Structure 1
Amino acid sequence: MRSEPTAHPAWLERAAIPALFLLLGVIYASWAARLPAVRDALSLDPATLGTVLLGGGIGAVTSFPLSAWLVGHFGARRAALYAGIGLLLILPVLALLPLWWALLAGMVAIGAASSSFDVAINALGAEAEQRAGRSIMSLLHAWFCVGTFAGALLGSAAAALGLPPWAHFVLISVVLALPLALAYRVLPCDQPDAELAKKHFAMPHGALVWLGALAFLGAISEGSLTNWIALFLRDHLHASEAVAPLGYAAFAGAMLVARLLGDGLKERHGARRLVAFSSLLAAFGISLALFAPNIAFAAFGFALAGLGVAAVFPCVFSAAGREGAAALAAVATLGYSGSLAGPPLMGFMVHGFGLQGGMALLAVVSVVVAVAAGSARLLR
C-alpha cells in the first residue's frame, strides 16, 4: 500500500513545484556562467566545444525511455526526486573532467538527468494547472527564470572571488539538496502511468507535430543563447570572466519578467499570437546584440531576446499537457532534439563565421518560430 506524505501547510505545498523549477534554473545558469572557465581549462576550440555541448542534447533525446519509465513507473513526484539527485551529483563532476571526450560523456549524463527532471516537473505543473482551472504554466516557468537569474549572478560572484568551477558547483549542489528533499516530502503522491512506462520512444503526431516543431526550434534558440551569451561577451566584446555572466543574467532576468506577465498576456491575447509576437521580439534583440558596440548595449539586446523567447516553452508545454502525459513527453522529445541540434549548429557556425554568424542563425530561428506559431492549432 502506497504511503501518503504527512500533511503540510497549504503554502508549503504550493511552493514545492516552483522550487523544483527554480532548482533546474540554478543548475542551468551555474553551468552556463562558468562555461568560459571550463572551456579555457581544456583549451577547446569552438567546433570542439560545440561537440561537447552536443552531448547534453544526445543525453536529453536518448533519455526518453528513462524519463517515460520513471514517470510511468513511479509517478512524476518520485521521478523528479530521482532525476534531481542525479543532477546534483553530476554537476560538480563536470568541472573535474580532464579531457574533452570525458566532458562530452559528462554532458550526456547531465543531459539525460536534466531532461528526465524537466519532463517530471512539467508533468507536475500540468497536473497543477488542471487542478487550478486556469493558466499557471508561465508562472511556473518564471521560477525557472528566477533560478537562472540567481545562478548567473552567483556564477559572476564566484568568478570574481576566484572560486574554481568545481568548488562553485559543489556548493550549489549542497545548497539545492534541501529544497529538492523538501519538495518531495510535501508534494502529494501521484499515480504512475502504466502505459507511459511501456513506451520506449515517442514522437508527436497529428496536431501535436506543430507543438513539437515549436519546442524543437525554441530549444535551439533558448538553449544556444544560454550556452553562448557569456562566450559572446567574453570573446567578441572582451568582457572579463566576472562580467561575462552578467549578459546572461540580463537575458534570464528579462525572461523572468516576461513569464511573470505571461499567463495574463496569454489569457488576453491567446498563446498563438503571444508566441508569434514574442519570437519576433527575440529576433530583434539578438540582432541588436550582434552589432552592439559595447557590453552594455549587447546586454540590452540579450534582455530583449529574453523577453522574446520566454513565451515558447510555457505555452507549448501547457498545450501539450492538456493532451496528456504521453503527449507532453512526445513534444518534450522534439524539444530536446532541438537541444541536440543547437550546440553543433552554433559550434560550426561560430567556427566558420565567427560569433556574430552564430548569433545571426539564432535570430533567423526566432523568425521561423514566429511563422510556425500561426499553424499550431493546439496553441491557444
Structure 2
Amino acid sequence: MQPTASISRNTTFSLAHLQQYALPLLFTLFGVIMGSWAGRIPALAERVHVSHSALSMVLLCGGLGAVVSYPISSYLMGRFGARKTLLISGLALLCVLVAIGMAPTVPRLMLAVLSLGITASTFDVAINSAATKREKQTGKSELSKLHGLGCAGGLAGATLGSLMASLKIAPATHFVMLAAPLAVLLYMGYSMLEADDSVEKVEKKSFSLPRGPLALLGLLGFLGSMSEGSIADWSGVFLKEHFGASDGLAPLALSSFSVMMLMSRMVGDKLKGRFGAQRLVTIGSLVSACGLFFAVLAPNAYVALGGFAIAGLGLSLLFPFVFSAAGAQGPIALAGVASMAYSGSLMGPPVIGAVAHYVGMQAAIAYVGGLSLVIALVASRTRLLK
C-alpha cells in the first residue's frame, strides 16, 4: 500500500504545483492580447482611413462593450462558474481579435471593437474572480503581482506589435499568427486551474454606483481608467502624428508606459506597507502629470518615450490600491467601483479624440496630464485609501 500512497502524494503535489502557475499564465495571456490590440491601433486606423473623431467613435465602442458586458458576465458566471467562463470568453476574445484585424470598413471595425469590449471585460471578471477565490483559500495577497504580470503581457504584446509593424506585417496576419498559440496557452491555463466550477453570485445590474465615502474611490477608478485607456489608445497615434514616428516606433509609447507600470507593481505591496496607499497614489499621480507634460514638450519621439515611462510609474499603483480598498468594504462596493471604472474607459478615449480633432494631439495628451492632477487632489481626500 505504501507505493500507492506515495504515488497519490506525488500526484497531489504535482497538481498543486501546476495550479500555482495557472493564474499567472492567464493574467499574462490577457495582457498579451490587449497589448497586441493597442499596439496596432495606429496601423488599423491608417488602414481604414479614419480621422481622429472617427477613431474616437471606434474606441468608444470598446468602452461601451465593457459597460454592457456586465449582464453577460453575470449570466456566464452564474451558469458556468469562473473557470469555464474564462475559457469561453477567452476563446471568443481571440476570435474577436482576428475579426478586428480583418475588418475592411469603419462600421465593421466598430462592431468588432464593441465585441472586444464585451469579451475582454467578461474574461477580466472571470480571472479576477478566480484570483480572489484563491486569495481567500490561501490567505495570501496576490492580485498586485498578478496585475503586474498582466502589464508584462501587455508590454510583450505591444512590443510584438512594434516588431510586426516594422516588418510590414498587416494587423490581420499578425493577429491570425497570434491566435492559435494563445488559444493553446489559454486551454493549458484553464486545465491547470483548480477544478472548482461552482457558480458565482454577481450583481445583474449593468451599473452599481457607489455612494458616500466610496464615491471618491469610484471617482479615482473612473479617472484612472480614463487616463490609462487614453494613453493606451492614443500615445502611439501622438508619436506618429506629432513626431512622424514610424509604425515600428509608435507602439513603443505603450511599451515604455507598461514596463514602468510592471516594475512598480511588483514592489507595490512592500511600498504600501511602508508609505501607505494614499500617499503613494497622490504622489504617483503628480509624477504621472509631470511625465505626460514632459512628453508633450519633448523635442522628439525618443525623448517623449521617457515621458510616457514616467507616467506609467506614476499611475501604476492606483488600480491595485483602489480595488483593494473597495474590496475591503465588500463585494458590492467593489462592483460599484468597477462600474465607474468601466464608464471611465468608455468616456476617456473618445474625449481625447475630440480634443485632438479640435485642438491637436499635444493638447489631448496635456489633457490626460491634467487628469493626473485631479487624481492627486481626489486621492489626498479619500479616507478609505489607507
Query: Under TM normalisation by the shorter chain, which class is it?
Result: over 0.9
Match of 1:124 among 120, 130, 148: 130
The list of structure 1 runs, each at least 4 consecutive aligned residues, that deviate by more than 6 angstroms after superposition, is: none
Deviation at 1:192, TM superposition (A): 4.4
Decide which moves more: 235-244 or 8-17.
Answer: 8-17
Pair 1:338-2:341 in alignment:
no
Query: 1:250 matched to which residue of 2?
Result: 256
Question: Does the 8 Å contact 2:216/2:378 carry over to 1?
Answer: yes
Distance 1:223 1:200, change over 3 A: closer
Decide which moves more: 295-304 or 72-81.
Answer: 72-81
Pair 1:185-2:191 in alignment:
yes
Cα separation, 1, equivalents of 2:203 and 2:14: 30
Q: What TM-score do the two structures reach when normalised by structure 1?
A: 0.93
Distance 1:130 1:315, change over 3 A: farther
Instruction: Indicate the RMSD between aligned Cα atoms, in angstroms.
Output: 2.0
The AA in structure 1 aligned to 2:356 is V
Deviation at 1:73, TM superposition (A): 3.2
Deviation at 1:330, TM superposition (A): 2.7
Cα separation, 1, equivalents of 2:68 and 2:157: 27
Distance 1:28 1:200, change over 3 A: closer
Structure with max Cα Rg: 2
The AA in structure 2 aligned to 1:83 is S
Query: 1:161 matched to which residue of 2?
Result: 167
Decide which moves more: 214-223 or 326-335.
Answer: 326-335
Q: Deviations over 1:47-92 (max 9, x none)?
A: 1100110000000011111122222332222222221111111001
Decide which moves more: 207-216 or 354-363.
Answer: 207-216
- 1:293 aligned counterpart, secondary structure: coil
Question: Does the 8 Å contact 1:71/1:197 carry over to 2?
Answer: no
Match of 1:52 among 51, 54, 58: 58
Question: Does the 8 Å contact 1:126/1:322 carry over to 2?
Answer: no
Question: Does the 8 Å contact 1:8/1:186 carry over to 2?
Answer: no
Deviation at 1:277, TM superposition (A): 1.3
Q: Name structure 1 gaps, 5 residues minimum.
A: 1-5
Pairwise mapping of residues 196-275 of structure 1 onto structure 2 (< 5 A)? Answer: 196=202, 198-275=204-281
Q: What TM-score do the two structures reach when normalised by structure 2?
A: 0.92
Match of 2:94 among 88, 93, 98: 88
Match of 2:103 among 97, 108, 118: 97
The AA in structure 1 aligned to 2:323 is F
Number of residue pairs matched? Answer: 376
Cα separation, 1, equivalents of 2:188 and 2:336: 29
Pair 1:32-2:54 in alignment:
no
Cα separation, 2, equivalents of 1:270 and 1:139: 17
- 2:41 aligned counterpart, secondary structure: helix
Query: 1:141 matched to which residue of 2?
Result: 147
Percent of residue pairs identical: 44
Cα separation, 1, equivalents of 2:129 and 2:188: 18
Query: 2:84 matched to which residue of 1?
Result: 78
The AA in structure 1 aligned to 2:215 is V
